[in-house]
């Protein structure tokens, strides 16, 4: 396999962007990444998107992307793995560069979620669960993650306050991110006092409905350095795994086995272990998810995710900063864009461009992107090229 590097990144602001269409967002992020990389041609494109068919009535997003970026006849393909669509799109681009078929590959991720009403958005998101056994019977994601939270609280003594601490930390990080959807700091009391969505999860435990896009440019590591270009970042590990689509099929609701398996593959490819990772963007679609993911990635022992966030281990300046961008919770969660945006944050950190949320001396970072209740997981490890 050829080694692969990231040479450019682009990100739109995240939020309720009613004045911008899905294709506007995709073009804005794509052009930013192309400009950042300083490339004059593209060999191939991928775009991660979960459900543009249900959200805006447009499938065939690869062709839309190539067309609106003025790049026809460059091949362009959409990749979908629910909320892990962005990470899976990066992985598809990674393989095409690694195979030697393409040198310069643009990978985008997008979701335009606010053009439909709340009921329609909830329906669209529930298509990431098991339609026949979960969604059809009325289960939606807050309810499914609430069951995981109850199981984790029961088995490990995880507390309501520990769940709230995830939201408090990520809003604090997001307050330092100019592109975040919510930049206001919140307190544990704010979370506990906010409206209940699915017991024990309050609305401030949930990531929002968001419009946004992200993009990055990949190329072979040996071609990545060029005068005038920012230092490249190598993708040194990529792992993906699946788990049962339905939550009730799993022997243990407190485990994210696909995350552990995907991370194991990424660690092995990278030749790294959890203690080598200096910062990580994880898929905090709900506060309980971040707690379970930090355990599944091996940053803390099983059952210790709650105490770790409460004691500041995963805060900026802590032992292993998690979600410096603000995470899905505060930065926002345009589902198809999220996996790409996580990598954009790591690249900016490894370049030393993260401003007030910079992790000092960061050389190795990780992303964990997840679909459904963890039925798909994609993990990437990135390293600054010295």
Looking at the annotation, which residues are catalytic? 83, 333
Non-local CB neighbours of 227 within 8 Å, separated by 6+ positions: none
Closest CA to 104 of 13, 11, 30, 214: 30
Contact pattern from residue 342 through residue 381 relative to a second copy, giving x for each residue in contact according to CB under 8 A and a dash for the rest: -----------------------------xx--xx-----
- Rounded to the nearest whole angstrom, what is the least distance from the CB of residue 231 to a second copy in the complex? 25
Contact pattern from residue 134 through residue 153 relative to a second copy, giving x for each residue in contact according to CB under 8 A and a dash for the rest: -xx-----------------
Report the interhelical angle of 61-68 vs 22-37 (nearest 10°): 60
Determine, following the binding rule CB under 8 A, whether residue 29 of this chain makes contact with a second copy: no
Number of residues that make up the chain: 386
Task: Check: CB of residue 347 under 8 Å from CB of residue 9.
Answer: yes
Closest CA to 186 of 206, 212, 200, 157: 206
Rounded-to-integer distance, Cα 320 and Cα 313, Å: 6
Neighbours of 176 (CB within 10 A): 18
For a second copy, the binding residue among 31, 38, 77, 229 (CB under 8 A) is: 77
Residue 196 β-bridge partners? 202
For 55-71, b/e burial (b = at least 16 CB within 10 A) is: bbeeeebbbbbbebbeb
Rounded-to-integer distance, Cα 119 and Cα 190, Å: 26
Determine, following the binding rule CB under 8 A, whether residue 340 of this chain makes contact with a second copy: no
- Rounded to the nearest whole angstrom, what is the least distance from the CB of residue 133 to a second copy in the complex? 11
Non-local CB neighbours of 124 within 8 Å, separated by 6+ positions: 50, 51, 54, 55, 113, 116
| Token pair belonging to 328 | 């899905």
Rounded-to-integer distance, Cα 121 and Cα 41, Å: 36
Nearer to a second copy (CB atom), residue 207 or residue 238 = 238
Non-local CB neighbours of 245 within 8 Å, separated by 6+ positions: 129, 130, 372, 375
- Rounded to the nearest whole angstrom, what is the least distance from the CB of residue 89 to a second copy in the complex? 9
For a second copy, the binding residue among 51, 181, 323, 330 (CB under 8 A) is: 51
Q: What is the DSSP letter of 232?
A: P
- Rounded to the nearest whole angstrom, what is the least distance from the CB of residue 287 to a second copy in the complex? 22
Contact pattern from residue 88 through residue 127 relative to a second copy, giving x for each residue in contact according to CB under 8 A and a dash for the rest: x--xx--xx-xxxx---------------------xx-xx
Nearer to a second copy (CB atom), residue 91 or residue 202 = 91
Show contacts with a second copy in window 255-294 (CB under 8 A): 257-258, 261-262
| Token pair belonging to 336 | 């198809």
Nearer to a second copy (CB atom), residue 238 or residue 342 = 238
Task: Check: CB of residue 8 under 8 Å from CB of residue 35.
Answer: yes
Determine, following the binding rule CB under 8 A, whether residue 58 of this chain makes contact with a second copy: yes
Q: Which stretch binds a second copy (CB under 8 A): 61-69, 156-164, 217-225, 360-368?
A: 61-69
For a second copy, the binding residue among 10, 30, 62, 142 (CB under 8 A) is: 62
For a second copy, the binding residue among 39, 79, 218, 224 (CB under 8 A) is: 79
Contact pattern from residue 221 through residue 260 relative to a second copy, giving x for each residue in contact according to CB under 8 A and a dash for the rest: -----------------x-xxxxxxx--x-------xx--
- Binding residues for a second copy (CB under 8 A): 1-2, 21, 23, 44, 50-54, 56-64, 66-67, 71-82, 88, 91-92, 95-96, 98-101, 123-124, 126-132, 135-136, 238, 240-246, 249, 257-258, 261-262, 371-372, 375-376
């Amino acid at each position: 396999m050829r080694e692969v590097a990231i040479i450019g990144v682009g990100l739109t602001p995240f939020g309720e962007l009613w004045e911008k269409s899905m294709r506007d967002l995709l073009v804005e992020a794509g052009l930013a990444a192309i400009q950042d990389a300083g490339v004059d041609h593209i060999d191939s494109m991928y775009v991660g998107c979960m459900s543009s068919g249900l959200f805006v009535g447009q499938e065939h997003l690869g062709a839309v992307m190539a067309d609106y970026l003025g790049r026809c006849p460059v091949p362009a393909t959409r990749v979908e793995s629910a909320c892990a669509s962005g990470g899976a799109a990066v992985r598809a681009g990674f393989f095409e560069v690694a195979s030697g078929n393409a040198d310069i590959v643009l990978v985008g991720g997008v979701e335009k979620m606010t053009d439909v009403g709340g009921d329609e958005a909830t329906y669209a998101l529930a298509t990431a669960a098991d339609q026949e056994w979960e969604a059809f019977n009325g289960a939606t994601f807050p309810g499914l993650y609430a069951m995981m939270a109850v199981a984790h609280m029961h088995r490990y003594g995880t507390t309501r306050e520990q769940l709230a601490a995830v939201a408090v930390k990520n809003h604090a990080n997001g307050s330092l991110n100019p592109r975040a959807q919510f930049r206001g700091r919140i307190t544990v009391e704010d979370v506990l006092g906010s409206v209940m969505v699915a017991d024990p999860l309050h609305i401030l435990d949930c990531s929002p409905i968001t419009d946004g896009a992200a993009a990055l440019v990949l190329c072979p590591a040996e071609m990545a350095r060029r005068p005038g270009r920012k230092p490249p970042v190598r993708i040194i590990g990529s792992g993906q795994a699946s788990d049962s689509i339905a939550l009730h099929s799993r022997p243990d609701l407190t485990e994210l086995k696909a995350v552990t398996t995907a991370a194991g593959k990424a660690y092995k490819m990278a030749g790294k272990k959890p203690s080598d990772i200096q910062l990580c963007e994880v898929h905090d679609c709900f506060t309980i998810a971040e707690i379970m993911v930090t355990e599944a990635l091996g940053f803390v022992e099983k059952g210790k995710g709650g105490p770790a966030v409460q004691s500041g281990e995963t805060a900026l300046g802590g032992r292993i900063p998690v979600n410096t961008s603000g995470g899905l919770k505060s930065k926002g969660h345009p589902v198809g864009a999220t996996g790409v945006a996580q990598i954009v944050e790591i690249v900016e950190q490894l370049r030393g461009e993260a401003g007030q949320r910079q992790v000092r001396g960061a050389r190795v970072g990780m992303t964990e992107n997840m679909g459904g209740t963890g039925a798909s997981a994609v993990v990437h490890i990135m390293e600054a090229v010295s």
